[in-house]
Chains A and B, each alone.
Chain A
Amino acid sequence: MTGAQALLESLKKEGVTDFFGYPGGQVLPIYDALYNEKGLNHILTRHEQGAAHAADGYARVSGKVGVCLATSGPGATNLITGIATAYMDSIPIVAITGQVPTTLLGRDSFQEADVTGITQPITKHNYLVKEAADIPRVIKEAFHIARTGRPGPVVVDIAKDAQVNKLDFKYPDKVDLPGYKPTFKGHPRQIKAAAKMISLSKKPLLYIGGGIISAGASAELKEFAEKLNIPITTTMMGLGAFPSNHPLALNMLGMHGTAYANYAVQECDLLLAVGARFDDRVTGHLPTFAPKAKHIHIDVDPAEIGKNVRVDIPIVGDAAQTLKDLLEKIKPEKSKHDAWLAQINEWKKKYPLSYKKDGQLKPQYIIEMINEVTKGDAIICTEVGQHQMWAAQFCQFKNPRTWVSSGGLGTMGYGFPASIGAQVARPDKVVFNIAGDGSIQMNIQELATAVINKLPIKIAVLNNCFLGMVRQWQELIYDRHYSHTNLCANPDLVKIAEAYGAVGIRITKGAEVKKALQESLKVKDRPVLLDFVVTREENVLPFVPPGQALNQMIID
């Protein structure tokens, strides 16, 4: 069999059923092998960036490794934003790129780019494959590396002659990677010390992130928190890991977190971080972050521990396993943290998330209505900006893998192609992409992909004719200098949707919101773009200005 055929066989061995790609000169042998391939569903996007984000959205929703394919040179460089997005959020994808034949490598050949060189800082690992015979082993390793330990993207760059040359196909049973041994079980001594520290704490707080979701540790987390009566605050990446309406849930902390979560961080005497990485959007001014607390940090990646914050007890291990081990070592005491929880409830009552209801169409209201009509069961994807923060604040989550948003890299244009991946992975689910008018225009060409594949994605554009988050900073920090954030020449998004064969609906009044959302849910065979013309200068609050302590929030 040829290298290209071996690649497809290897993908099937890894359990791949769907993948996303875009053809070109140096992947022609792979596309030729796909021509008669029945076991793999290839989805043609309209831009390679769309393919990378779709693979990422697919991975976040399904828990499987997402796969994308692109040609050499510009095809590969168009994947870069998507690979970097996946890298920053620890999402397992395998990105396969064609490369010029080995005889032309290093000669600035047509559509040649040093893909392994370019992707080295944004991948967990990468490969340049020059021999057909290496393809099965490399694919096996790539999937293993992508999905184990701290997950992340792996790039496999395959020279065209390796795709064409013949090999005897034998898929390896196991990988041989002496330099790669992720730690699964936390050190017993550290667990014992942590258990003691938790037992002694009067005001403990769980601070959890995307690691809970990638480890599939939601059930363990819930049991841990409920048995020990410990409140939980969640990073943006951790949304969905713990039910939003749970009495112990403080929801999101950080720059646009809830006031009660941020106050709890600043008051707690023990911060138990699990699968979170003390990102600057979470901590604000580092030296004043959680100033009264001892720190326990559980993470599968040892390099995360001590990177930003010094911790008292580090535990390297899988989140689910470690929470289970830790819970075994602690004797639960009923009503133990009642005073602490009462204090938190007081903050919850005093500083709930809110917005001014002044008769105008408010973006927060639209999110509340999306939540109402979907009963919190939808998969919510977002782009990046104000709409993303409102979605993070006002969406109610019940389950993990229902929130798909670019956290670390903050990639505008991510949400819509990611929602395509999400809908392909979960055809049974209602998928919303909550967008801004700036972001949606960054990958709007993927409407064609959604239409041709009959994907009933609901695109809710909170259209304020501004790059809203930048405008907000300009208003609050740059003296209202709205430098290049006014998008007054926006196209008619309803007409764009219709031109692609999707449904377009414009909503200008609060009274129309619910009905339009219900209408959109009835459409099952194509995407619906809901163009919500919202009030223009709404701010996301609370807001911790950059470099400030978390309790120095602007609340209203």
Chain B
Amino acid sequence: MSRRDRGGEKGKAMKHTISVIVENKPGVLHRVAGLFSRRGFNIESLTVGETEDPKISRMTIVADGDEQTLEQIIKQLYKQIDILKVFDLPKSESVERELALIKVHANEKTRGEITQIVEICQAKIVDVTEEALMIEISAETEKVENLHKMLEKFGIQELVRTGRIALHKGNQN
């Protein structure tokens, strides 16, 4: 380490997926969200839901920052009394998924092409009307974004994404 970066000059910012295991108590989401905002950490997405144990919830947070910021995020999260465990989930060691619902304009002329794109992207058509199709995709973030891009030219009416969830591969937990 050079002396110059002792003062915490910014390193390379990267997106990180952080898993946060919390006690399922009121206010815990507020604690986590408040911590991110007051310490100036950026959240790209945050999902939360019960785990196999109903007393415990799992948050998956996608956050932006360099290595030092990530370390601070994890340490600050650990200080919260209701937080049991915090870990970074590197892409290579985990399975990541995101669910999106995309409502896209479709008519007789375009419906076929859209259906083809949906098939190639391993997405699903879940609702059909005369003027629109609703498409569901569950995939890695990049694939969701790719489908979104492919469908843009048809005119997207509405789009909703759940944010990323992830689990360690294999026996690790």
Show the binding face of A for B, using Cβ within 8 Å: 116-117, 120-121, 124-125, 128, 145, 177-180, 285-289, 291, 295, 301-303, 306-310, 312
A131 to B136, CA, bound (A): 44
Report whether B72 and A306 are in contact in the complex, using a CB–CB cutoff of 8 Å. yes
Q: Jot down 21 A-B pairs with beta carbons below 8 A, ordered by A.
A: A117-B27, A117-B30, A120-B31, A120-B34, A128-B26, A179-B80, A179-B84, A286-B6, A287-B7, A287-B9, A289-B7, A302-B75, A302-B78, A303-B78, A306-B75, A309-B6, A310-B1, A310-B5, A310-B8, A310-B68, A312-B1
Residues of B contacting A303 with CB < 8 Å? 72, 75-76, 78-79
Task: Give 8 closest A-B pairs by Cβ, nearest first.
Answer: A286-B7, A287-B7, A303-B75, A125-B81, A179-B84, A180-B81, A302-B75, A303-B76
Report whether B81 and A179 are in contact in the complex, using a CB–CB cutoff of 8 Å. yes
Interface residue? B12 (CB, 8 A): no
Report the minimal beta-carbon distance from B86 to chain A, rounded to whole angstroms.
10
Chain A residue with minimal CB distance to B79?
A303
Report the minimal beta-carbon distance from A252 to chain B, rounded to whole angstroms.
22
Residues of A contacting B82 with CB < 8 Å? 179
Interface residue? B23 (CB, 8 A): yes
A306 to B26, CA, bound (A): 31
Interface residue? B153 (CB, 8 A): no
Residues of B contacting A120 with CB < 8 Å? 27, 30-31, 34
Report whether B8 and A308 are in contact in the complex, using a CB–CB cutoff of 8 Å. yes
A525 to B9, CA, bound (A): 56
Interface residue? B71 (CB, 8 A): yes
Show the binding face of B for A, using Cβ within 8 Å: 1, 3-9, 22-23, 26-27, 30-31, 34, 38, 68, 71-72, 75-76, 78-84
Main secondary structure of the interface of B (DSSP, over half): helix
Report whether A309 and B75 are in contact in the complex, using a CB–CB cutoff of 8 Å. no
Of B6, B27, B31, B38, most buried by chain A (CB within 10 Å of CB) is: B6
Residues of B contacting A289 with CB < 8 Å? 6-7
Report the minimal beta-carbon distance from A157 to chain B, rounded to whole angstroms.
11
Residues of A contacting B81 with CB < 8 Å? 124-125, 145, 177, 179-180
A121 to B32, CA, bound (A): 10
A-B Cβ contacts below 8 A, count: 63
Residues of B contacting A117 with CB < 8 Å? 27, 30
Chain B residue with minimal CB distance to A141?
B81
Residues of B contacting A128 with CB < 8 Å? 26-27
A520 to B146, CA, bound (A): 79
A120 to B26, CA, bound (A): 13
Report whether B6 and A121 are in contact in the complex, using a CB–CB cutoff of 8 Å. no
Given contacts A303-B76, A310-B6, contact A121 B34 (CB under 8 A): yes
A445 to B3, CA, bound (A): 51
Residues of A contacting B75 with CB < 8 Å? 302-303, 306
Residues of B contacting A287 with CB < 8 Å? 4, 6-7, 9
Of B7, B23, B80, most buried by chain A (CB within 10 Å of CB) is: B7
A128 to B75, CA, bound (A): 25
Of A124, A288, A306, A310, most buried by chain B (CB within 10 Å of CB) is: A310
Residues of A contacting B4 with CB < 8 Å? 287
Residues of A contacting B7 with CB < 8 Å? 285-289, 308-309
A308 to B68, CA, bound (A): 10
Given contacts A120-B27, A179-B83, A310-B8, 11 further A-B contacts (CB under 8 A): A117-B30, A120-B31, A125-B80, A179-B22, A285-B7, A289-B6, A289-B7, A303-B76, A303-B78, A307-B72, A310-B68
A307 to B8, CA, bound (A): 8
Report whether B8 and A286 are in contact in the complex, using a CB–CB cutoff of 8 Å. yes
Interchain CB contact (< 8 A) of A309 among B8, B80, B84: B8
Chain B residue with minimal CB distance to A120?
B34
Chain A residue with minimal CB distance to B5?
A310
Report the minimal beta-carbon distance from B161 to chain A, rounded to whole angstroms.
28
Report whether A179 and B23 are in contact in the complex, using a CB–CB cutoff of 8 Å. yes
Report the minimal beta-carbon distance from A200 to chain B, rounded to whole angstroms.
18
Chain A residue with minimal CB distance to B35?
A121
A301 to B76, CA, bound (A): 10
A513 to B9, CA, bound (A): 50
Chain B residue with minimal CB distance to A291?
B3
A291 to B6, CA, bound (A): 9
